[in-house]
Amino acid sequence: MQGPKERKLQRTTWVVFSDRGYQMANMNDVSRLAGVSRGTVSNYINGLKVRPAAQERIENAIKKLNYVPNAAARTLKTNRSSYVVLIIPRVDTPFFSELSYCMQQVLKENGYKMILCNSNSRPQEEFEYIQMAKTQKVAGIITMSYADIRELVPPDIPLVALENKVADFFPLITSDNYHGGSLAASKLYSLGARKLLFISKAPVKDVSQIREQGFRDYCEDNKIEHDRFVAQNKANFVDDFRYFIESEVTDKKFKYDGVFSDSDEYVSDFWYLLQQRKIAVPEEVQLIGFDGARVYPRQQVVVSSIKQPVTEITRQAFKSLQQQLIGKNNTQNEMYEPLVLPVSFIQGQTTKQAES
Nearest distance in Å: CB 261, a second copy: 13
CA 232 → CA 46, 204, 239, distances in Å? 56, 10, 10
Task: Give the whole-angstrom CA distance, residue 155 versus residue 141.
Answer: 12
Asked whether the beta carbons of 52 and 1 are under 8 A apart, the reply is yes
- Give the residue from 53, 342, 15, 324 showing the smallest Cα distance to 173: 342
CB of 279 to a second copy, least distance (A): 16
Nearest distance in Å: CB 175, a second copy = 18
Query: Does the bond joining 4 to the residue before it have cis omega, within 30 degrees of 0?
Result: no
Cβ(178)–Cβ(143) below 8 Å: no
Q: Does 25 bind a second copy (CB under 8 A)?
A: no
Minimum distance between the CB of residue 308 and a second copy, rounded to whole angstroms?
14
User: Which of the stretches 78-86, 189-197, 204-212, 279-287 binds a second copy when contact is defined by CB under 8 A?
Assistant: 78-86
Is residue 330 within the footprint of a second copy (CB under 8 A)? no
Query: What character string, x for contact with a second copy (CB under 8 A) and - otherwise, covers 148-167?
Result: ---xx-xxx-----------
Q: Are 290 and 94 in contact (CB under 8 A)?
A: no
Q: How far is it, in rounded angstroms, from Cα 79 to Cα 57?
A: 29
Residue 215, CA atoms < 13 Å, CB-side half-sphere: 30
Q: How far apart are CA 290 and CA 177, in angstroms?
A: 9
Does 135 help bind a second copy (rule: CB under 8 A)?
A: yes
Which one of 122-130, 222-230, 311-319, 336-344 is the stretch in contact with a second copy (CB under 8 A)?
122-130
Q: Which stretch binds a second copy (CB under 8 A): 219-227, 244-252, 293-301, 313-321?
A: 293-301
Of 12 and 232, which CB lies nearer to a second copy in the complex structure? 12
Contacting positions for a second copy (CB under 8 A): 12, 15-16, 19, 22, 24, 68-73, 75-76, 79, 81, 83, 90-94, 96-98, 100-101, 104-105, 108, 113-118, 127-128, 130-132, 134-137, 151-152, 154-156, 238, 265, 268-269, 272, 293-297, 299-300
